[in-house]
Amino acid sequence: MIRLVALISGRGSNLQAVMDAINTRQLPAEVAAVISNNPTAAGLQHASQAGIAIQVVNHRDYPDRRHFDSALHRAIEPFAPDIVILAGFMRILGADFVNQYHGRLLNIHPSLLPAYRGLNTHARVIEAGETEHGVSVHFVTPELDGGPVIACTKIRVLPDDDPERLAARVLTQEHQLYPAVIGWFAAGRVRLHNQQVCLDGTPLQQPVELDFGESSCEKSRLY
Ligand code: GRF
C-alpha cells in the first residue's frame, strides 16, 4: 500500500479515476492528501467529500515560483507520500522542487510524448492532420513534459473530430492509464534509474503501449 499525494488545479477527473481504482481495490494505494493551487478546483470538493485531506497553496499568495514551490513542498511533506502525482496541475514546477521528488513524481499528459508538449494538444494534433493521438504517463523532470515516459495509450484521430470530441476520447483513456501505471509503481515494478524507466528490472527502450480498447473496459488484466 503506497501513500500518494495528488496535485490538481481543476476538475480532477483523473484524481477521481485513481480514487475509484483504490475504492474498487484495483490499486493498492491511499490518497493521503489532495493539494491545489486553485482554491475553486472542483476536484478539491470531490476529495473532501471522500474524506481525504485537502489543502490549497495558492500561487497568487507568493511573489515568485521559488516561494510557491517551497510552500508546496512544506504542504506535501507532512503527508509523507511515497509518490506525488500531478493530475491536471497547471503550474510549472522549478528544478529544486522536482529534484526533491526524483523518481516519485508522475504526470499525465494528453499527447504521445515527446510530441505535443504543453497546452492545447488536441487542437494542435487536429491542426497538424495527425491520424494518431493519445496520452502519456511520465516521470517528471525539470524539463516541462520532458521526463522519461513510462507508458502511453494511442487512439485514432477520426475525420470528424473536433478538439472537444477528441479530448473526451483521450480522457477516457487517461482514466484507465493513470491508475494502471500508478499500480505498477505501487507494486514496485516501475522505477527511474539513471534517467531511464525500468519496468520489472528491465530498462525500457520505448514507452509501454497499453491498449484498453476505445470503448471497452478490459483493463483489469493490466494491473
Ligand atoms: C488532463 O487532460 C490531463 O492529462 C492534463 O490535464 C487534464 C486534467 O483533467 N494534464 P482532470 O482535472 O484530471 O479532469
83 and 104 Cβ atoms separated by less than 8 Å = yes
Tell me the C-alpha distance between 161 and 126, whole Å: 8
Q: Which residues line ligand 1 (CB under 6 A)?
A: 8, 10-14, 43, 87-88, 108-110, 171, 174
Q: Whose CA is nearest to atom 7 of ligand 1?
A: 88
> Which pLDDT score, from 0 to 100, does residue 195 have?
93
* Active-site position among 46, 109, 138, 175: 109
Kindly give the confidence (pLDDT) of every residue in the chain, 223 residues in length, as a single tens digit, with 9 standing for 90 and above: 999 999 999 999 999 999 999 999 999 999 999 999 999 999 999 999 999 999 999 999 999 999 999 999 999 999 999 999 999 999 999 999 999 999 999 999 999 999 999 999 999 999 999 999 999 999 999 999 999 999 999 999 999 999 999 999 999 999 999 999 999 999 999 999 999 999 999 999 999 999 998 754 334 334 4
Q: Whose CA is nearest to atom 10 of ligand 1?
A: 88
Which grid cell sits at 158? Answer: 477520426
> Which pLDDT score, from 0 to 100, does residue 61 have?
98
Q: Whose CA is nearest to atom 3 of ligand 1?
A: 88
> Which pLDDT score, from 0 to 100, does residue 213 have?
86
Distances (CA, A) of 198 to 31, 39, 139, 148: 24, 37, 11, 10
Instruction: Please give the distance, rounded to the nearest whole angstrom, from the Cα atom of residue 193 to the centre of ligand 1.
Output: 27
For the chain, how many residues are written? Answer: 223
> Which pLDDT score, from 0 to 100, does residue 218 have?
39
Tell me the C-alpha distance between 181 and 210, whole Å: 10
27 and 223 Cβ atoms separated by less than 8 Å = yes
> Which pLDDT score, from 0 to 100, does residue 197 have?
98
> Which pLDDT score, from 0 to 100, does residue 214 have?
76
User: Which residue type, as a one-letter code, is found at position 100?
Assistant: Q
Q: Which of 73, 87, 111 is nearest to 21 (CA)?
A: 87
> Which pLDDT score, from 0 to 100, does residue 222 have?
44
Contacts of 177 by beta carbon, 8 Å cutoff, 6+ apart: 108, 135, 137, 151, 152, 153, 210, 212
109 in catalytic set: yes
State pTM to two decimals. 0.95
